[in-house]
A = this chain, B = another copy of it.
Amino acid sequence: MPSIIDGSSPIGIFDSGIGGLTVVRELLLNLAGESLIYLGDTARVPYGTKSSRTVVRYSLSNAGFLVPKGIKLLVAACNTASAFAIPALRNECGLPVVGVIEPGAKKAASATKTGRVGVIGTSSTIKSGAYKKAVQEIDPEITVYSTPCPLFVPLADEGLNNNDIARLAAQRYLAPLKGSGIDVLILGCTHYPLLKSIIQEAIGEKVLLVDSAQETAAEIKGVLEKNDLANNGSAKPTTEFYLTDVSDTFIEVAERFLGREIEHIEQVDIGNNYG
């Protein structure tokens, strides 16, 4: 492990696949001076269908790849990993660790006026109850309405962000939330920012959508400043992408998520360094 961690050190971000690139996209937009190292565990994607024990093990092995690269902060840019692995990651890594659940929960809790917040995510995220717990830890008076939207990830992956199938799926999934009186809806999956417009359309214009990727980027900014770890140097920031399995499809989809071309992706074999 490199001995000196300072402001010029990179931020490490991992996800089960490519959804976490929506967080990278926000970091590139809002913390343009920071160097980033992204690891997508595409050989073992998705995490959402796996048991919590397995998700913790995979998350620790991802950290075991990133931490020795001298990162100053670790981002679990994956809802399933954020739901299950944050305590283990904080325990093992000795670094600030930011997940994607707390930032969205904070924003939702502060924004709601009706005291009713909606959450959508994968089946596993919703089943974990992680958002409900995070929101109610901030304010136990808030009622949280959750519903899973399993087709949204494959729709986003396929680039069907804005067609009739996505629209029909959104209407079906969001119907139970429409009569609930929520005024805030958390997009509890890193894929969902790509479907924002049809989600907004289905839930109605009056409901505020909380984009976890945006809130996570804001949280990272705050944590870096608080720990005096923001990059104030003049060196040109770098971005590195690693995947545990590289397929043609993934690169194509990854660029859609990132909103720009990816020049170089390296395939890596990660061991179970912390596993």
Binding site for B on A (CB under 8 A): 42-45, 49-51, 54, 123-124, 127, 150-151, 153-155, 157-158, 160, 164-165, 168-169, 172, 245-250
A-B contact pairs, 25 of them (CB 8 A): A42-B49, A43-B44, A43-B54, A44-B44, A45-B49, A49-B245, A49-B247, A49-B250, A50-B245, A50-B247, A51-B246, A51-B247, A123-B249, A127-B249, A150-B154, A150-B157, A150-B158, A151-B158, A151-B160, A151-B165, A153-B154, A154-B154, A164-B168, A165-B165, A165-B169
**Contacts of A153 on B, CB cut-off 8 Å?**
154
- Asked if B54 and A50 make an inter-chain contact with CB atoms under 8 angstroms apart, the answer reads no
- Asked if A249 and B49 make an inter-chain contact with CB atoms under 8 angstroms apart, the answer reads yes
Q: How far, in angstroms, from A127 to B154 measured CA to CA in the complex?
A: 18
The residue among A43, A150, A165, A172 with the most chain B CB atoms within 10 A of its own CB is A165
Q: How far, in angstroms, from A172 to B166 measured CA to CA in the complex?
A: 12
- Closest B residue to A246 by CB, please name it: B51
- Closest B residue to A172 by CB, please name it: B165
**Contacts of A42 on B, CB cut-off 8 Å?**
49-50
